[in-house]
Structure 1
Amino acid sequence: MTERGDLAEPRPHEELADESLISAGMEQAESSLDEDDRLKPEFLSAVLDAVDEGDIDHARELVSPLHPADIADLLELTPAEQRGEVAAALGDLVGAEVLSELNDYVRDDLIGALAPEQVAEFASELDTDDAVAIIEDMEEADQQAVLEAMEPEDRAAIESALSYPEESAGRMMQRDLVAVPEHMTVGQVIDYLRDNGDLTRDFWEIFVVDEGHKPIGTCQLSWVLTCPRGIAMADLMKREQTLIPVDMDQEEVALRFQKYALISAAVVDGSGRLVGMITVDDIVHIISEEAGEDILRLSGAGEGDINEPVMDSYRARVRWLLTNLLTALVASTIIGIFEHTIEKMVALATLMPIVAGVGGNAGSQTMAVTVRALATNQITGSNARRTILREIRVALLNGCTVALVLGLGVGLVFHNVALGGVIAAAMMTNIVTAGLAGAAVPLAFDRMNLDPAVASSIFVTMITDSMGFFAFLGLATAAGLTG
């Protein structure tokens, strides 16, 4: 058997054989993906047909060249009733990396069919943050069974992570990192990295700590590799660093990474001790997740996951629809007040949805900009008033443009200059109101420590609909168009 550090030289024909196998695998993997790196429908059908026909070897042959993320996509695209059978057929191809890439609902389904010992084995192969993502949503009894099946060291790391709040830095951080004392030299650090086989293999920077294990600086791996061996780490390290409190919300962590262009950052506990690190690959996932959550909350669509159970989606959405029903009654009541006005001039009923609809869209535009600015910390107490005034100025410009076009059009079509003037004035009023509401409502929710993405849309829609109907019908009545 060849010893480590004394590898036998491969013969030329062996190298060519290995290269040809790798090349063939890459070509096969690429042929299964379209130009957008999505699995082709015909490839999915071929895998499902092979499993249905009991040709397990062919199914595994098709899937084996795929990246774990693509295998995860394959399982997500598989109909729910066939997913367990396909996963069983692929066997060890559905490993820990595939599980970490899976959609939460799909992963929960597959894990539910595994024995605790299997889940524990998968979890022990992953970084702590990925292992926690697999275990944290399990039922308490199943979670305990998995933890008991794990090695003591792995179990302690998982239990420590689970003790922190959900969506906090403590949940998402990795425990495996490289930290050295400041008195070590570059040469000593290099020897330490080479001789210690238990160290993590994936890291970009080395953390320098004091006697209390508190981080006092960082050093990029490239600096260590390019400096003379005799240089002290205290002289090489960068003392300015961004430290992440262990209880910081993951959205705030993502904002710090974005603001300071971080690749990785140290996580510290309440006493300032180094307890973990967060890397940018985790942050990319968080940014995508948080952005998606805000969009879905604006629409009241719950988690908006196509793999979410139907009843869960129903419960998440119906409460907002019922709330919207109540707010719609306000607009309906305003229309009822002007019932006689509408009866005398039917054209008003034809035109008033235009005023309300365009106003609603204007409010949605402003609201989306404001919610995004709040989410990215662009709006603070010092510039909130300025932001509202800016949106009102934009609304005035939009209102003038739309009101002019609509007023001229209505005046020409209905041969009624007064009607054109009334609808132009109503449109101007509603768009300005929409700009004010779209900025003010999310800011008000934020001031009350409520999520501005959750209910802003319902209230902004109520305001724009109500004001649109009231302005148009009220001005029409005041102008005597129905007299």
Structure 2
Amino acid sequence: MSETELSDPVETPESELDEDDRLKADFVRAVLDAVEEGDGEAAREKVEPLHPADIADLIELTPGEQRPALVAAIGDLIDGEVLTEMNDWVRDALVESLDPKQIAGMAAELDTDDAVAIIEDLGEAGQRAVLRALDPDNRAAIEEALSYPEESAGRLMQRELIAVPEHWTVGDVIDYLRGDEELTTDFWEIFVVDPGHHPLGTCHLSWILRAPRSVLVGDVMKREQTLIPVDMDQEEVALRFQKYALISAAVVDGGGRLVGMITADDVVHIISQEAGEDALLMSGAGEGDINEPILDSYRARVRWLIANLATALVAATVITLFEGTISRMVALAALMPIVAGVGGNAGTQTMAVTVRALATNQLTESNTLRAIRREITIALLNGSTVAVVIGTAVALYYHHPALGAVIATAMMTNILIAGLAGVVVPLTLERLRADPAVASSVFVTMTTDSMGFFVFLGLATVSGLVG
């Protein structure tokens, strides 16, 4: 949340939103019709009452070829708040079309973290041009933020915070907050620091408001606090906020000095972003954004499909080993996909649970064996249930009890293998410093498909089922 939101709590009229708080299609069409007719004033009048987030939605909902005309018509309504609410791909394209001085003016209105989000994706030349247009203080703050790794606490934090010395009284703090108009208005707690600017503790605003003016800050502050290293990955930051139920947290540099703070509204965005990323990575859909350029989506997805093609060839190779068996009993060809498919789904279930547990630090070295035993137990229960169902159905349908027994045994075995692979593969990739969300499903699918075919056809062969 920014200072603009606090001072001007604009809300989009309900008449322009549907039951899911999305802009109505009729409203979007009316604005675009006005733009097409050259009536920029009418378009601007319709858009002006909208909340910045809904103005951003309007631009995203506009077809790419019509966006320049819309932006030209409502240009003065597109400020830093709108840019921070906008989809990354749409924002990047829009920012590239703006003059560096315009971008600098928007960035100057925002907290440092929001300004960095706008500037960081510009090219090197674009960044230099925007930074030159900023005043020295803003430029120094943004340059420092850009020096930190991407998706780190240094990029996420805002430098606008309230820090006071321990020897001040509550009255001194209140007078300071009221007397300095340059202070940020967006904060939930006050940080207490020593002369070297090392954090000593925090004071909630409610404590400041309720304590007598004569009480020392050091007597009412909470000394225990969660400190965030400036180079910590944003996903780990989000986990700390979730674990310790934080509203805000101090960010410290390598020397332990207070350099910024991170607030809960930033972390909510990170949690949503990271969860979506993991789901998309497991599916191989790239960034999965409908605004992503077609060629970028193609490159991200085709690599995954080629990898899947390679794993499918492994399964096909297993099938060729039993061509004779299949040719003598055609029913096996019809039943093979069932064994592999159900095993694949079982592996995907276990893999999803494991990847999530790794991402949220629920699964560590101390409980790895317990997690493996748990998944094997679940696989045994699932495998037994599915094996009885499929075995009985096949035996009755084909009037062949031996075939039912073979597919039941194969199903049970493959689900056990799937459960084991679903937990061991992500764990192994994690130990090898590879992202388990990216590569796990390829290996798990290959394992369940190839082993499903091998076990089923192998049992059919050695059991004498095929004469």
Q: Report the TM-score when normalising by structure 2.
A: 0.97
> What CA deviation, in whole Å up to 9, does each residue of 1:204-247 have, x standing for no partner?
10000011110000000111011100000000000000000000
2:98 partner letter: L
Matches within 5 A, 1:424-443: 424-443=408-427
- Aligned pairs, number: 460
Instruction: Look up the match of 2:171.
Output: 187
> What CA deviation, in whole Å up to 9, does each residue of 1:271-309 have, x standing for no partner?
100000000000000000000110011011111111111
2:355 partner letter: V
User: Among 330, 334, 337, which residue is 1:346 paired with?
Assistant: 330
1:247 aligns with 2:231: yes
Matches within 5 A, 1:35-184: 35-184=19-168
Instruction: Look up the match of 1:233.
Output: 217
Instruction: Look up the match of 1:17.
Output: none
Matches within 5 A, 1:244-283: 244-283=228-267
Instruction: Look up the match of 1:224.
Output: 208
Instruction: Look up the match of 2:393.
Output: 409
1:169 partner letter: A
User: Among 313, 326, 337, which residue is 1:329 paired with?
Assistant: 313
Shift of 1:91: 1.8
CA distance in 2: counterparts of 1:174 and 1:103, whole angstroms: 21
Deviates more, 1:387-396 or 1:51-60: 51-60
CA distance in 2: counterparts of 1:56 and 1:226, whole angstroms: 52
Instruction: Look up the match of 2:268.
Output: 284
Instruction: Look up the match of 2:188.
Output: 204
Instruction: Look up the match of 1:480.
Output: 464
CA distance in 2: counterparts of 1:409 and 1:65, whole angstroms: 63
The alignment partner of 2:74 has SS state of helix
CA distance in 2: counterparts of 1:439 and 1:196, whole angstroms: 56
CA distance in 2: counterparts of 1:96 and 1:247, whole angstroms: 26
CA distance in 1: counterparts of 2:274 and 2:247, whole angstroms: 19
CA distance in 2: counterparts of 1:444 and 1:109, whole angstroms: 39
Shift of 1:427: 0.3
1:368 aligns with 2:344: no
User: Among 304, 309, 329, which residue is 1:320 paired with?
Assistant: 304
1:350 partner letter: A
CA distance in 1: counterparts of 2:238 and 2:287, whole angstroms: 20
Shift of 1:43: 1.1
The alignment partner of 1:303 has SS state of coil
Gaps of 5+ in 1: 1-21
Instruction: Look up the match of 2:3.
Output: none
CA distance in 1: counterparts of 2:384 and 2:268, whole angstroms: 41
CA distance in 2: counterparts of 1:236 and 1:114, whole angstroms: 49
> What CA deviation, in whole Å up to 9, does each residue of 1:421-460 have, x standing for no partner?
0000000000010000000000000111111101000000
Shift of 1:61: 1.6
CA distance in 1: counterparts of 2:127 and 2:445, whole angstroms: 44
Gaps of 5+ in 2: 1-7
1:418 aligns with 2:410: no
Give the RMSD, CA atoms, in angstroms. Answer: 1.2
The alignment partner of 1:265 has SS state of strand
CA distance in 2: counterparts of 1:440 and 1:413, whole angstroms: 36
2:307 partner letter: T
Shift of 1:65: 1.4
User: Among 450, 457, 464, which residue is 1:466 paired with?
Assistant: 450
The alignment partner of 1:383 has SS state of helix
Shift of 1:190: 0.4
Shift of 1:42: 1.1
> What CA deviation, in whole Å up to 9, does each residue of 1:331-362 have, x standing for no partner?
00000000010000000000100000000000
> What CA deviation, in whole Å up to 9, does each residue of 1:148-200 have, x standing for no partner?
01101100000000000000000010000000000000001100111111100
Q: Report the TM-score when normalising by structure 1.
A: 0.94
CA distance in 2: counterparts of 1:57 and 1:31, whole angstroms: 20
